[in-house]
Amino acid sequence: MTIRQKICLLAGASLIAFSTSALAETTVRVTIAEYSKGTGPYFEEAAKAFEAANPDTKIQIEVVPWDNLQQKLTTDISAGANADLSIIGTRWLLDYVKEGIVAPLDDHITPDFKARFIDTFLSPSVMNGKVYGLPIAASARAMYYNKDIFAKAGIDTPPATWADFKTDAEKIKKLGGETYGFGLQGKEIETDVYFYYGMWSNGGEIVKDGKSGLDSQAAIDTAKLYKSFIDEGLTQPGVTSYSREDVQNLFKQGKVATVITAPFLSNQIKTEAPNLKYGVAPIPAGPSGDKGTYGVTDSIVLFENSKNKEAAWKFLDFIFTKEQRTKFDKVEGFLPVNAEEAKDPYFADNADLKVFTSLLPNARFAPVIPGWEDIAQTTSNAIQKIYLGQGDPEATLKEAAAKVNETLK
């Protein structure tokens, strides 16, 4: 064989190797919100399992702290550097759809695939008759209470109404020490939601007939109620310094007797405070019996500018199988979004989760309206001002409502 023939053979072999390598280099980038310490490990394991079954595709996982996610996505999208798939807050989806940032999934969704989902959790991602996201995380909100503290204060049952709760918190205060009845959030994400719990119980709405409900009597009464908890020493001091995670930590440490939050706290308690005796109950009702809970979904979306839509969809199909959803929801403590998954004894027989699922029929979701994040921030700013004693509740809420109405226009 001549040198030229050898060179040709080597070149041919190199070309084949290069072609094979190129086929193996289809990379699907996935931006993941970090819900807990288990989030990253779960998705890395899922990626490896998918790659083993699909050797022509590599899944690249990037885990981002939840509080930084929206800013990162905004920056990446502006630069055209976003991933193929990303978790987002479902409440952001309308703006993404209007701007053509995310792709509809209907061409990929079969009747069998759609039947996997509990409709309550899939429907928030359906807009204009098209599915733009899949519910990667689902939860509701309920009240966790410390059974030992309640027993010491002579309280036999969790509060049925906000009036009962105020009375219970007063009893807990009489115990002395540094334990407070109402763990109240006043900083960062969902500060507005913590206020809505009481407002919904009082019969109020965030938006009604296209206008803000912050200037309603229900909202004003709620602000005065929460401020009375603060002024009477029934909450932890300095509530505007405490985020959701901070208040949850106070509860795990036995420093507050109650906290209103999501089912993922149960898993945290089992790991971080296994000796804590706690219960889960509905959020207290208002004078007319109204109850308020917050239904939440986060979605995973496919970006319109993705060059790997088919491979990205295959990964979505994989992580929404019963097996994968069960693994993920057990890790995170979320409610099942898969109908078959919900039959698993882990979920079906879980006393904590039964409370949350019982509240879903009356759950409120964040309104699917343009400018929602601005509205939520305006509300949070007003609530913080009231908590700090820097503004009269009625005047501050009316001012905030006027600002929200401008956003709604």
Residue 171 burial (C-beta neighbours within 10 Å; 0-12, 13-18, 19+): middle
Instruction: In the chain, count H helices and then E strands.
Output: 18, 12
Residue of 214, 193, 202 lying closest to 91 (CA atoms):
193
pLDDT computed for residue 25 by the predictor = 76
Residue of 18, 29, 27 lying closest to 57 (CA atoms):
27
pLDDT computed for residue 133 by the predictor = 97
- Mean pLDDT for 7-17 is 43
Architecture of domain 3-138+296-365: 3-Layer(aba) Sandwich (3.40)
- Mean pLDDT for 12-29 is 58
Which band of pLDDT confidence, cut at 50, 70 and 90, is reported for residue 101?
A: very high
Residue 131 pLDDT > 90? yes
Lowest mean pLDDT among 6-10, 314-318, 340-344: 6-10
Which band of pLDDT confidence, cut at 50, 70 and 90, is reported for residue 19?
A: very low
Give the relative orientation of helices 309-319 and 39-53 as an angle to the nearest 10 degrees: 120
Q: What is the spatial distance between Cα 96 and Cα 373, in angstroms, rounded to a whole number?
A: 13
Contact 106, 381 (CB under 8 A): no
What six digits make up the tokens of 387?
A: 């908590």
- Mean pLDDT for 404-408 is 95
Helices (H), 174-235: 191-201, 217-231
pLDDT computed for residue 171 by the predictor = 98
pLDDT computed for residue 330 by the predictor = 93
pLDDT computed for residue 216 by the predictor = 97
Q: How many CB atoms lie within 10 A of CB 227?
A: 18
- Mean pLDDT for 12-23 is 44
Residue 18 pLDDT > 70? no
Contact 154, 278 (CB under 8 A): no
Residue 5 pLDDT > 70? no
Residue 143 pLDDT > 60? yes
Residue 300 pLDDT > 60? yes
Do 3-138+296-365 and 142-282+371-408 share a fold?
A: yes
Mean pLDDT (the chain) is 92
DSSP 128-143: TTEE--EEEEEE--EE
Q: pLDDT for 213-234, tens place per residue?
A: 999 999 999 999 999 999 999 9
The residue extents of the domains of the chain are: 3-138+296-365, 142-282+371-408
Residue 211 or 24, more confident: 211
Pairing of strands 134-139, 85-89: unpaired
Lowest mean pLDDT among 2-11, 145-154, 275-284, 345-354: 2-11
Residue 139 pLDDT > 60? yes
- Mean pLDDT for 36-65 is 96
Residue of 142, 292, 123 lying closest to 206 (CA atoms):
292
Classify domain 142-282+371-408 at the CATH superfamily level.
Answer: Periplasmic binding protein-like II (3.40.190.10)
CB contact set of 161 (below 8 Å; sequence gap of 6+): 284, 285, 286, 287
Pairing of strands 26-34, 57-65: parallel
Residue 3 pLDDT > 70? no
Which band of pLDDT confidence, cut at 50, 70 and 90, is reported for residue 373?
A: confident
% the chain with pLDDT above 90: 82
pLDDT computed for residue 66 by the predictor = 87
Q: pLDDT for 186-210, tens place per residue?
A: 999 899 999 999 999 999 999 999 9
Residue 116 or 20, more confident: 116
Q: pLDDT for 260-274, tens place per residue?
A: 999 999 999 999 999
% the chain with pLDDT above 70: 94
Q: pLDDT for 304-326, tens place per residue?
A: 999 999 999 999 999 999 999 99
Question: Hey, which residues does 86 pair with through a beta bridge?
Answer: 31, 301
pLDDT computed for residue 371 by the predictor = 87
Residue 53 pLDDT > 90? yes
